Amino acid sequence: MGIDENAAVNPKWTDRSRTMVTLSRGVPARVRHLANDLKNFFPQIHSEPKFDKKDNLLILNEMAGLSRCERVMYFEARSGQDFYLWFSTNIAGGPSAKFRVFNVHTMSELNFTGNCLKYSRPILSFDPAFESAPHMRLLKEMLTQMFYVPENHPKSKPYFDHIINFGLTPDQRIWIRFYAIPAGNIDTEVEEIGPRLVLELIRILNGSFEGDVLFNNQEYISPRFHRRQIRLAAAAKTRARASEKQSRAVKHNVLKKIIRPDHVGEIFNEEVSSKEAKKLMAQIDAKKKKKSKIGVAKKAKA
């Protein structure tokens, strides 16, 4: 394992800042387990009871102040199926960021073979794309403050035996993965530990849950709006199908009323002039009348 040499030289605990983690009411079990997994990685995390969604988010700053915490990590559930994550790196002056959470998988669910010491210090690995824009550099600093372990913390271990990787996809989503360093040798292939989650940045505020908007993601689409568009598209498809069916019925009725020319029948509509033809037609009519009388008699007997 990689030993932190500064911890052996200067064992004094100077960074005493803590992070408050709380959840809104209505979050599913998977998000609760994710919060518990994060508690096992970071000794500075302090958990609070569930927060009522109807309350103002500024109350979180007061809760963190009463708990002697400087940072806040708040998991919020909306509509029972949409999950958001709030970061506040400093309750006194911000900044804070709001993310939408995707693809949450807990450690117990993944059941990976990798493992690391509890409360050991991580190596934070960032995608080079975090240096591409000012708001991404700010976001990198915020993630560093939220996911690091304070040096010489009484509960921490002076080892670097796992890596937290922050990957950035072309659609600007942040993939967070946890990897273990086998036997503390970083040159060997790392093993994933879990948990897994994906974040989509929505906005960054100047203050802690308030203030001016420093960055607003113009490509972000609200999940409610997305579901509404799907419903509208399905309704439009149903209306188009019903309209097509109605138009087919109208067309069919119009075609039924049209008398089409019968060129073959017109040949036989001419008047019969020869005696032999008249005699043959009389025989045919007699046979038709006879058949019709037999059918009427059978129906009367039945």
Distant-in-sequence, close-in-space partners of 25: CB < 8 Å, separation ≥ 6: 50, 51, 52, 53, 77
Cα within 13 Å of Cα(190), Cβ side:
19
The per-residue pLDDT for range 269-279, each reduced to its tens digit, is 566 666 777 77
Cis ω before 128 (30° cut-off from 0) = no
**pLDDT value at 302 more than 90:** no
- Global pTM value: 0.74
In 3D space, the residue among 138, 136, 162 whose CA is nearest the CA of residue 148 turns out to be: 162
The per-residue pLDDT for range 8-44, each reduced to its tens digit, is 555 788 888 999 999 998 888 999 999 999 999 999 9
Distant-in-sequence, close-in-space partners of 84: CB < 8 Å, separation ≥ 6: 75, 76, 77, 78, 98, 99, 100, 101, 202
Written as six digits, the tokens of 287 are: 């046979």
Residue type at position 76 = E
